[in-house]
Chains A and B, each alone.
Chain A
Amino acid sequence: MSENLASWLIRFRVWVVGVVFLATFAMSFSAVKIDVKTVFQDLLPSDHEYVKTHNEFKDTFGGSNLVTIMVEVEDGDIFQPEVLGVVNNLTRELQKVSAVNPFQIISLASKKLKEVKASTEGIETKPLMWPEIPETDAELQELREKVLRNSLVYGPYVSEDLTSTLITVDFIDRLLDYETAFEEINGLVNNVSVPGVKVRVVGDPILYGWVNHYLPETLNLVLLAGLILVLMLFVLNRTWRGTILPIISGAVSAIWALGISNLMGIHFDPLVIVIAMLITARAVSHSVQIITRFNEEVEQIEDGSEEAGAAAHSTLSELLRPGMLGIATDACCVAVVALSPIPLLQKLALLAVVWVGTVAISSVLLTPVLLSWVKHPRGYAHPINVSWLMHRVLDLCHWVVVSRMRYVMLIWTAIVFLGCGYYALNLKVGDANPGSPILWQDSAYNLDSAAINEKFQGADRMFIVVGGDEENLAKKPEVLKSLQEFQRFIEVQPEVGGTLSVSDILPAVNRTLREGNPRFEELGSTQDINGELLYMFEAGAEPGDMDRYVDTARANASVTLFFRDRQGETIRTTIARIKEFVAEQNLDGAEYKLAGGLIGVIAAVNEVILSGQLQSIALALLVLVVLCTLVYRSSMAGMFFMVPVVLSNTVTFSFMAYMGIGMNINTVPVAALGIGLGVDYALYICDRIKQELRTGADDLTAIERALHSSGKGVMITAFVLIVSVLLVYQSSLKFQAEMGLLVALWLTVSAFTALFVMPAMAYIFKPAFIYGDRQDAV
């Protein structure tokens, strides 16, 4: 079959190439229009319980796109007119930022932070510092005192040492564009030029804003990596075809993939550039395999009758099986990611499958067809020859098989596998370190985040809802009491910096009513009394003032939890503790609903990833095993090719555990692609051994030939790709850098396994699908 296809393709080569290039030309129009952005809604598994709660209540109790701005003074405290002026200005200017929810800007200078005072007329609520900022010493002192005795302000909005204060701002999710919000808020913050005052900003819109900010840098790195790739291909392959054709196939598949994605309405998340590089790497390495094989075929053609077409034909027919199998395993393994309920991962899987699929055409078919035109197949483009060095290494590979080293190699492989496998159990789901794993620890954002979390209860929030359908449920004493107990229970965990709910407000109002006697700092004993207390607090309130605590019908109340970090372990512990608490609650008509806000959403994503983690690895392996079994019509083939995959993945996972890289929404697709990735090199080498044996070579010669031909291709691509991928380690985005490192590791391990371990294994076990139905074959 591959013979016929090869003949057909070579015969109609002009048409084939014409159609491919026309299609590429057409696709390029669509490809350049692809949206490069992070779409927030895509990050959420919308069917997850937490996300449902989040979506239901985010407009009331606070979304996951909250931005926190900290105004910090170097000397003295914040109670200076200039400092308060900065807070005041920022608070007002923030209203003009696109997509900001004007009712959810909270700071000392907003109307939201109030003091409840008993007066002769009863009870009075007044904004702390609105509309005028204090000027005189006495006024400043008065404000300081007001802040110090208000537990809703002192702690949550003014730091305990009085040197910093927060402004929080929430967005209307559906209008929010991360890049615009980032630019506008950064513009405001950079405008502040009061000496001795420092302004820090955190929040997801800012975080993703930084990712976009570094996009040009990332693209430059990718281009540079591409350049180095070209250069090294030229040096190692010594031919123009060996340099240009891999690039053509990489480019064609990229254009097709991006074009098709754009037509399907998928946008390109800047964080998945690594995935793009990875797939392009596949395209390049398939292409290099084909060129290497072509060079060999050319060698065998007699002098004088140089006919590139024949060489291209046999190359194509011989490499169709390993090439297509490699692509099919890549595509199927990454397709498994689409089982995840997270839209971003589904779209990414689709993008990756399309992309990998196009490699079949751009590399496996197009490259040999283009090769058939080569004019001087024996010539070299430059005199530098390093192939002797490569053959030395390949000799070493062969020596391993010939000598007793083959057993040692196998035992070492087993040891490495077991050791790494055991260590990989430390791999964490969720972020493994405080701060954002996307940026370096010493990046401005992570420094800001650390500073805010040190001064305050925590910048990242989760909300829990207690309530039901019945109106005024949130005024019931048992509900409020339960809230209080919940807050006390959950605050025991040190990473939870604090909690806030309506149950904190009512006792304070009650105490104020009782002449400030703290012995009466307690909830009302009936629903009516609580309603009364709430009414007094609300007096003179504006729409949205109570939103952080209860909904309009008073049917639902929220507890806001402030987190000092967003590590996977922190969130898991909190969720487990919340569930433990909720299991013991028996509230008539009201129930606890988990969990909204940024941390609630992250918790949902982490749970989805954790629950799907083993599944996706197992299914990807299953796909690989089944495909190999089918193609080679041998169940042993499936087992055999599992070795490089399992080995490269355990090594990489243990490396992730060692580096503190957690499994999160950004790393999962890279990991899934890695499974399919590990097998390509082994496929080419083993398939070559099989072919050589079929032509009558003895066992060791077959292995030697396979190593010096396919093995050379493996070495060239692995080396070239590793060097260019490592370049990404210079990225200002820690995530990109680490993923570059991971991909490099994957390539190294799978190349090493293909060159040193697989031939030894083949020689020792002599699997029937390679060695045929011989007496000693398994």
Chain B
Amino acid sequence: MVAALNKLTRLGVGVSPWLVIAGLLYVGLFVKPEPVGSTVIPTAIEARDRFYGLVNPEPQVLWAVAADGKIVRSDDAGQSWQVQDSGTNVHLQDIAAWDSQKAIIVGNTGVAMYTENGGQSWWQADAPRNDVVNKLLDVKVFANGEAWAVGSFGTIIVSHDYGKSWKYALEPDDYILNEITERKDGALVAVGEFGTILLSEDRGQSWKNIPSTVESSLMTVDFVDAQTGIAAGLDGILLKTSDGGHSWQRIGNQFANLPEAKAAPGVPNASSWQDVTTEHIFTLRWHPLQERWYGAGSKGLWLKADADGSNWRAGRLAPKDLSWHTSIALTDNGVIYTGRNIGRWDGTRWQVYQSR
């Protein structure tokens, strides 16, 4: 028994070196480790993002849409952001919401999407498309599930079921419509390329083309009440109406020499005012509580004015921030700007939300 065990041990001792040699040979010939990288988790807001549309249906909620089909939402006034799955990678141009649950998005290729659960799922709506070019640029929502969207090729479409189905409200034509808005008495006004201004006082049944005396593009329009409104556009053009949009006048004279802008943050030299007035204005909003106009545009422009379109002030959000912004939201603690970046401006300080 002991002898057998001894024999076994001897055998083991004799064999093990060869096992080691075989093992080394195997490793030497066949084992090739592959590189393994570490995991990287994307942030909600990335350096490459371009946010075109923004809405804040509730005080804490910020909801923005961006290029490449990106949707982000913050439920804590911009402290943290979550990305929502849009199911598309086309550029999304605008978002509008009835509340924090129901919203619609429009964008390139004529895409229109809606949600009823705060964006947990987005569904494609069947929006009509023309044969030439489809690009929806702006959307607005009104009571009882009504929604209006405008875009390229003179598109005006309307929905009455919270964005599920859409139909044309105007024959297409060869110009771009950039924004549609509601006069406070329910009439609709749309502005666009070549100084186009359309007015409908019968909720879209018929549209009247208003001569605007300007030829460059109008990007934005909004109303204080049923009478007073302002439209703005490229190269700093500003038009004012006091008769509900039937006639428009250039505002410009008051603009010529406004001292405040020179002292505005980030505008170090005297020539900057000239610069600001000629910058593109992409959006202009009436703030009913503060009774003031706010605007944004290219090269980090901010704009402010009194209700009657006087006392304009402008400047740059930050000295070295020449980002463009296409959309603003007026909240209790400042104006949220979205565009090349996304951030909050409280009138003196510009704070960009998390990039990198």
Contacts and interface: CB of A to CB of B under 8 A. Distances in A.
Interface of A: 137-138, 141, 145, 148-149, 154, 160-162, 429, 481, 484-485, 487-488, 491-494, 498, 515-519, 521-522, 569, 572-577, 606-607, 610-615, 618-619, 621-622, 625-626, 629, 635-636, 638-639, 642, 778
Given A519-B52, A521-B67, A619-B28, A492 B40 contact: yes
Contact of A611 (B17, B34, B48, B282): B34
Contact of A606 (B25, B35, B50, B299): B35
B24 A619 contact: yes
Nearest to A642: B20
Given A610-B35, A614-B33, A622-B21, A492 B320 contact: no
B24 to A, nearest CB: 4
A491 B45 CA distance: 12
Contact of A161 (B17, B43, B298, B320): B320
Task: Tell me what chain B mostly uses at the interface: helix, strand, loop, or mixed.
Answer: loop
Interface in B3-34: 13-14, 16-18, 20-21, 24-25, 27-29, 31-34
Contacts of B21: 622, 625-626, 629, 635, 638
Contact of A625 (B20, B48, B280): B20
Contact of A518 (B13, B32, B68, B324): B324
Contacts of A622: 21, 24-25, 28
Contacts of A639: 16-17, 20
Given A149-B299, A487-B48, 20 more contacts: A160-B320, A488-B68, A492-B42, A519-B52, A573-B40, A576-B37, A577-B37, A606-B35, A610-B33, A610-B34, A611-B32, A611-B33, A614-B32, A615-B28, A618-B27, A619-B24, A622-B24, A622-B25, A625-B20, A639-B20
Contacts of A572: 35-38
Contact of A137 (B37, B234, B269, B339): B269
Which of B52, B324, B340 has the most chain A CB atoms closer than 10 A to its own CB?
B324
A117 to B, nearest CB: 14
Interface string B43-72: 100111010100000000000000110000
Nearest to A140: B269
Contacts of B269: 137, 141
Contacts, number: 136
A455 to B, nearest CB: 13
A615 B31 contact: yes
28 contacts: A138-B271, A141-B271, A145-B299, A148-B299, A149-B299, A149-B322, A485-B68, A487-B48, A491-B46, A492-B40, A498-B47, A517-B217, A518-B50, A518-B340, A521-B50, A573-B40, A577-B37, A610-B33, A611-B32, A611-B33, A611-B34, A612-B32, A614-B27, A618-B28, A626-B21, A638-B17, A638-B20, A642-B20
B330 interface: no
B206 interface: no
B249 interface: no
B333 interface: no
Nearest to B217: A515
B216 A515 contact: yes
Task: Tell me what chain A mostly uses at the interface: helix, strand, loop, or mixed.
Answer: helix
Contacts of A606: 35
B326 interface: yes
B36 A576 contact: yes
A520 B68 CA distance: 13
A115 to B, nearest CB: 13
Contacts of A484: 68
Contact of B24 (A485, A491, A607, A618): A618
Which of B18, B40, B217, B322 has the most chain A CB atoms closer than 10 A to its own CB?
B40
A778 B14 CA distance: 9
Given A148-B322, A614-B27, A629 B17 contact: yes
Contacts of A519: 52, 91, 93, 137, 326
Nearest to B91: A522
B277 interface: no
A440 to B, nearest CB: 27
B108 interface: yes
A607 B27 contact: no
A579 B319 CA distance: 40
A145 B322 contact: yes
Given A615-B31, A621-B24, A516 B298 contact: yes
Nearest to A607: B35
A549 B127 CA distance: 38
Nearest to B90: A522
A432 to B, nearest CB: 14
A625 B17 contact: yes
